[in-house]
Amino acid sequence: MKYIDLRSDTVTQPTPNMREAMFNAIVGDDVYGDDPTMRELEEYAAKVVGKEAALFVPSGTFGNQLSLFTHCNRGDEVILGDDCHIVAHEVGAASVIAGVQLRTIVSNKGELDPKEIENRIRKADEDIHFPGTGLICVENAHSNGRVVSLSIMKGIYEVAQKHNVPVHLDGARLFNAATYLGVEAKEITKYCDSVMFCLSKGLCAPVGSILAGSKEFIDKARKNRKLMGGGLRQAGVLAAAGLVALKEMINNLKIDHENAILLGEELSKIDGVKVRKEDMHINMVFFTIKDTGCSSEKLVQGLLDKGIKINGEENGEIRFVTNYWVSKEDVYHVVNCVKEILN
Ligand SMILES: *Cc1c(COP(=O)(O)O)cnc(C)c1O
């Protein structure tokens, strides 16, 4: 049975071109630096985000945590938003791997106030009680569906540079953010020292993310990646799909965004469904069904019976995510099914 899967864009299957590229990939032992396809992906990825070097990592979480681990010393403080993925969805890894303290600040729908950040920056030698600020993290696109403006990115980077603190961008959906802003990814990543982005979300690669930054940073990260068990051998089979992701799939994201807006608009016409329309920047639609009298469990099961997979509520909201394998026709079909279940 073919399902329409709206749980996430992580569910995307590789495209036929990816499978072909993986089948034909020339590979070598990447821990020895012998994998030509991986070399090509890392060089290409660095160029796409305007950084000196890049490193393939198994997942987005791995890339973020590797970045914290590489930028910071144990006991450093990392300033970041209270609703970001690193705080909310990475299993507390920052305390286990990098051994850092997360200093959260209130996020206004994903946007952090540069002044608030500046107020929190501390130097270890200032006071016997103080940890030093080792890193500032920004998330864009934010997993709440919104894109952070370039002016905020710039403001944060200026504050960071003034105080000589590096900035890491969790850009799991960097290319969705670039698509929304109508700029190249480089225009966003010029406001950070390191960036992680996922190949395996909307870009459809089966596995992998990229961490990019200065050559010095990536050299150090490559060693730390080995420590974390992320030294991969004939990883060119994965890199081959990653190259297709970066060369062929970025332009498709605007269709995912259009489909998400269509989905949000149509869902909002259903009685009692409240869609967070102002936050539909990327491929996500958030809504509540409390006023319909239907429980989210009933909606999940009802849709599953009709061949549509969705996740249950989180924080009282349901999230639908469009992706390459969800067509406009699928969107209309989903809306009709939701209507049938709620009415
Ligand atoms: C998905 C995601 C990650 C982590 O990626 P995984 O590959 O699932 O580990 C990190 N940050 C954000 C914002 C994400 O959406």
* For range 296-308, the mean pLDDT: 97
The β-bridge relationship of strands 194-198 and 167-170 is parallel
On whether the CB atoms of residues 81 and 104 are closer than 8 A, the answer is: yes
- Write out pLDDT tens, residues 54-110: 999 999 999 999 999 999 999 999 999 999 999 999 999 999 999 999 999 999 999
- Write out pLDDT tens, residues 316-328: 999 999 999 999 9
Is residue 141 in contact with ligand 1, taking CB distance under 6 Å?
no
Question: Given this model, what pLDDT does residue 154 score?
Answer: 98
Helix (H/G/I), strand (E/B), else coil: 314:
strand
pLDDT at 194 over 80: yes
- Write out pLDDT tens, residues 135-188: 999 999 999 999 999 999 999 999 999 999 999 999 999 999 999 999 999 999
According to CATH, where is 3.40.640.10 located in the chain?
Answer: 14-248
Ligand 1 centre to CA of 172 (Å) is: 5
Ligand 1 centre to CA of 342 (Å) is: 31
According to CATH, where is 3.90.1150.10 located in the chain?
Answer: 252-342
pTM greater than the 0.85 cutoff: yes
- Write out pLDDT tens, residues 197-229: 999 999 999 999 999 999 999 999 999 999 999
Ligand 1 centre to CA of 12 (Å) is: 14
Is residue 172 in contact with ligand 1, taking CB distance under 6 Å?
yes
DSSP state, residue 317: B
* For range 7-26, the mean pLDDT: 98
Is residue 285 in contact with ligand 1, taking CB distance under 6 Å?
no
Is residue 60 in contact with ligand 1, taking CB distance under 6 Å?
yes
CATH number listed for the domain at residues 14-248? 3.40.640.10
Atom 2 of ligand 1: nearest residue by CA position = 172
Is residue 170 in contact with ligand 1, taking CB distance under 6 Å?
yes
Ligand 1 centre to CA of 341 (Å) is: 31
257: nearest Cα among 278, 231, 285: 285
If one counts every other C-beta atom within 10 angstroms of the C-beta of residue 286, the result is: 19
Instruction: Give the percent of the chain with pLDDT over 70.
Output: 100
Confidence of residue 235 (pLDDT cuts 50, 70, 90): very high
In angstroms, the CA 171 to CA 269 distance is 32
- Write out pLDDT tens, residues 303-313: 999 999 999 99
Ligand 1 centre to CA of 340 (Å) is: 33
Ligand 1 centre to CA of 253 (Å) is: 17
* For range 14-21, the mean pLDDT: 98
Ligand 1 centre to CA of 175 (Å) is: 13
Atom 5 of ligand 1: nearest residue by CA position = 60
In angstroms, the CA 208 to CA 205 distance is 7
Q: What rounded mean pLDDT belongs to the chain?
A: 97
Is residue 6 in contact with ligand 1, taking CB distance under 6 Å?
no
Half-sphere exposure of residue 284, counting CA atoms within 13 Å on the CB side?
A: 26
pLDDT at 343 over 90: no
Q: Which residues contact 284 (CB under 8 A, 6 or more apart)?
A: 145, 260, 319, 320, 321, 322
Instruction: Residues 252-342: name the CATH superfamily.
Output: Aspartate Aminotransferase, domain 1 (3.90.1150.10)
Question: Encoding tokens for residue 219?
Answer: 């050299």
On whether the CB atoms of residues 42 and 179 are closer than 8 A, the answer is: no
For residue 61, the ligand 1 atom closest to its alpha carbon is 9
Instruction: Give the percent of the chain with pLDDT over 90.
Output: 99
Is residue 176 in contact with ligand 1, taking CB distance under 6 Å?
no
Ligand 1 centre to CA of 166 (Å) is: 21
Is residue 198 in contact with ligand 1, taking CB distance under 6 Å?
yes
For residue 84, the ligand 1 atom closest to its alpha carbon is 13
Question: Given this model, what pLDDT does residue 108 score?
Answer: 94
For residue 139, the ligand 1 atom closest to its alpha carbon is 13
Is residue 139 in contact with ligand 1, taking CB distance under 6 Å?
yes
